[in-house]
Protein backbone atom coordinates (compact mmCIF):
# COMPACT_ATOMS: atom_id res chain seq x y z
CA UNK A 1 0.00 0.00 0.00
CA UNK A 2 1.29 3.43 -0.99
CA UNK A 3 1.75 6.08 1.64
CA UNK A 4 -0.34 9.16 0.97
CA UNK A 5 1.30 12.43 1.89
CA UNK A 6 -0.82 15.04 3.63
CA UNK A 7 -1.24 18.05 1.36
CA UNK A 8 -2.76 21.06 3.15
CA UNK A 9 -2.97 23.15 -0.02
CA UNK A 10 -6.51 23.89 -1.19
CA UNK A 11 -6.89 25.14 -4.74
CA UNK A 12 -10.30 26.66 -5.37
CA UNK A 13 -12.25 26.60 -8.61
CA UNK A 14 -13.64 29.76 -10.18
CA UNK A 15 -17.10 28.97 -8.81
CA UNK A 16 -15.72 28.39 -5.32
CA UNK A 17 -13.89 31.72 -5.49
CA UNK A 18 -17.20 33.32 -6.45
CA UNK A 19 -18.79 31.81 -3.36
CA UNK A 20 -15.98 33.24 -1.22
CA UNK A 21 -16.40 36.68 -2.84
CA UNK A 22 -20.14 36.54 -2.20
CA UNK A 23 -19.68 35.39 1.39
CA UNK A 24 -17.25 38.14 2.39
CA UNK A 25 -19.57 40.76 0.88
CA UNK A 26 -22.46 39.83 3.16
CA UNK A 27 -23.30 41.57 6.45
CA UNK A 28 -23.09 38.18 8.16
CA UNK A 29 -19.41 37.89 7.33
CA UNK A 30 -18.76 41.24 8.99
CA UNK A 31 -20.18 39.72 12.18
CA UNK A 32 -18.09 36.57 11.80
CA UNK A 33 -15.02 38.74 11.25
CA UNK A 34 -15.77 40.72 14.43
CA UNK A 35 -16.16 37.48 16.39
CA UNK A 36 -12.87 36.07 15.04
CA UNK A 37 -11.04 39.30 15.84
CA UNK A 38 -12.55 39.31 19.35
CA UNK A 39 -11.30 35.77 19.96
CA UNK A 40 -7.79 36.76 18.87
CA UNK A 41 -7.95 39.76 21.18
CA UNK A 42 -8.75 37.43 24.11
CA UNK A 43 -5.38 35.72 23.62
CA UNK A 44 -3.66 39.11 23.73
CA UNK A 45 -5.56 40.10 26.89
CA UNK A 46 -4.50 36.81 28.52
CA UNK A 47 -0.90 37.69 27.71
CA UNK A 48 -1.26 41.15 29.21
CA UNK A 49 -2.80 39.72 32.39
CA UNK A 50 0.03 37.29 33.19
CA UNK A 51 1.32 37.96 36.71
CA UNK A 52 4.59 39.84 36.87
CA UNK A 53 7.60 37.55 37.16
CA UNK A 54 5.91 34.50 35.58
CA UNK A 55 8.29 34.33 32.63
CA UNK A 56 7.23 30.82 31.57
CA UNK A 57 3.58 31.91 31.24
CA UNK A 58 4.58 35.10 29.42
CA UNK A 59 6.46 33.12 26.79
CA UNK A 60 3.67 30.52 26.46
CA UNK A 61 0.89 33.11 26.18
CA UNK A 62 2.98 35.18 23.75
CA UNK A 63 3.33 32.15 21.49
CA UNK A 64 -0.43 31.46 21.68
CA UNK A 65 -1.44 35.07 20.98
CA UNK A 66 1.03 35.30 18.11
CA UNK A 67 -0.23 32.03 16.60
CA UNK A 68 -3.87 33.14 16.93
CA UNK A 69 -3.14 36.51 15.31
CA UNK A 70 -1.16 34.88 12.51
CA UNK A 71 -3.93 32.35 11.86
CA UNK A 72 -6.53 35.12 11.69
CA UNK A 73 -4.35 37.19 9.35
CA UNK A 74 -3.67 34.22 7.07
CA UNK A 75 -7.37 33.32 6.80
CA UNK A 76 -8.42 36.90 6.03
CA UNK A 77 -5.57 37.35 3.53
CA UNK A 78 -6.50 34.12 1.76
CA UNK A 79 -10.17 35.09 1.55
CA UNK A 80 -9.24 38.50 0.13
CA UNK A 81 -6.82 36.89 -2.33
CA UNK A 82 -9.42 34.39 -3.56
CA UNK A 83 -12.10 37.08 -3.92
CA UNK A 84 -9.66 39.34 -5.79
CA UNK A 85 -8.68 36.49 -8.09
CA UNK A 86 -12.35 35.80 -8.80
CA UNK A 87 -12.94 39.47 -9.68
CA UNK A 88 -9.94 39.50 -12.06
CA UNK A 89 -11.01 36.24 -13.70
CA UNK A 90 -14.58 37.49 -14.09
CA UNK A 91 -13.53 40.73 -15.70
CA UNK A 92 -11.25 39.08 -18.26
CA UNK A 93 -8.07 40.10 -16.45
CA UNK A 94 -9.05 43.75 -16.21
CA UNK A 95 -9.68 44.94 -12.66
CA UNK A 96 -13.29 45.92 -12.25
CA UNK A 97 -14.26 49.51 -11.51
CA UNK A 98 -16.18 49.50 -8.21
CA UNK A 99 -17.64 52.93 -9.04
CA UNK A 100 -19.14 51.81 -12.34
CA UNK A 101 -22.85 52.43 -12.44
CA UNK A 102 -22.98 54.38 -9.18
CA UNK A 103 -24.19 57.54 -10.88
CA UNK A 104 -27.14 57.15 -13.21
CA UNK A 105 -26.98 59.73 -15.96
CA UNK A 106 -30.08 58.41 -17.65
CA UNK A 107 -30.04 57.62 -21.35
CA UNK A 108 -26.64 59.28 -21.86
CA UNK A 109 -24.84 56.83 -19.55
CA UNK A 110 -25.46 53.96 -21.96
CA UNK A 111 -23.29 55.25 -24.79
CA UNK A 112 -25.89 56.70 -27.11
CA UNK A 113 -24.00 58.60 -29.79
CA UNK A 114 -26.85 60.78 -30.97
CA UNK A 115 -26.80 63.67 -28.52
CA UNK A 116 -27.64 66.31 -31.10
CA UNK A 117 -30.81 67.38 -29.31
CA UNK A 118 -29.23 67.83 -25.91
CA UNK A 119 -28.42 71.52 -26.47
CA UNK A 120 -31.02 72.40 -29.09
CA UNK A 121 -32.39 75.32 -27.06
CA UNK A 122 -28.93 76.71 -26.42
CA UNK A 123 -27.32 78.98 -28.99
CA UNK A 124 -23.61 79.43 -28.43
CA UNK A 125 -23.22 82.49 -30.67
CA UNK A 126 -26.49 84.41 -30.74
CA UNK A 127 -26.81 86.98 -33.49
CA UNK A 128 -28.14 90.28 -32.22
CA UNK A 129 -30.16 92.37 -34.56
CA UNK A 130 -29.13 95.92 -35.39
CA UNK A 131 -31.93 97.24 -33.17
CA UNK A 132 -30.71 95.16 -30.17
CA UNK A 133 -27.13 96.36 -30.71
CA UNK A 134 -28.11 100.03 -30.90
CA UNK A 135 -30.24 99.82 -27.77
CA UNK A 136 -27.37 98.56 -25.65
Is pLDDT larger for residue 25 or for residue 129? 25
Beta-carbon contacts of 109 under 8 Å, excluding residues fewer than 6 positions away, are 103
Look at residue 13 in the predicted model and tell me its pLDDT: 93
Q: How confident is the model at residue 129, as a pLDDT?
A: 58
Number of domains comprising the chain: 1
Residue 48 lies in a domain: yes
Inside any domain, residue 78? yes
Asked if residue 76 belongs to a domain, the reply is: yes
Strand, helix or coil for residue 106: helix
Average pLDDT over residues 51-57: 95
Inter-helix orientation angle 27-48/55-90, to 10°? 160
* Residue 105 banded pLDDT, cuts 50, 70, 90: low
In a domain, 89, yes or no: yes
Residues 6+ apart with CB under 8 A from 47: 58, 61, 62, 64, 65
What confidence tens digit (pLDDT) does each residue in 117-126 have? 545 555 555 5
Residue at 26 is within a domain: yes
Higher pLDDT, 135 or 43: 43
Give domain status of residue 112, yes or no: no
Structural domain containing residue 53? 14-95
Amino acid sequence: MEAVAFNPVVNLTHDQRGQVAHTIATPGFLLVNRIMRSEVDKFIIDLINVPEGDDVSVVAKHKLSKAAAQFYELVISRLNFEAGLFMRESSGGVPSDPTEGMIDLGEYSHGEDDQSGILEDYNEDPQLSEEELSSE
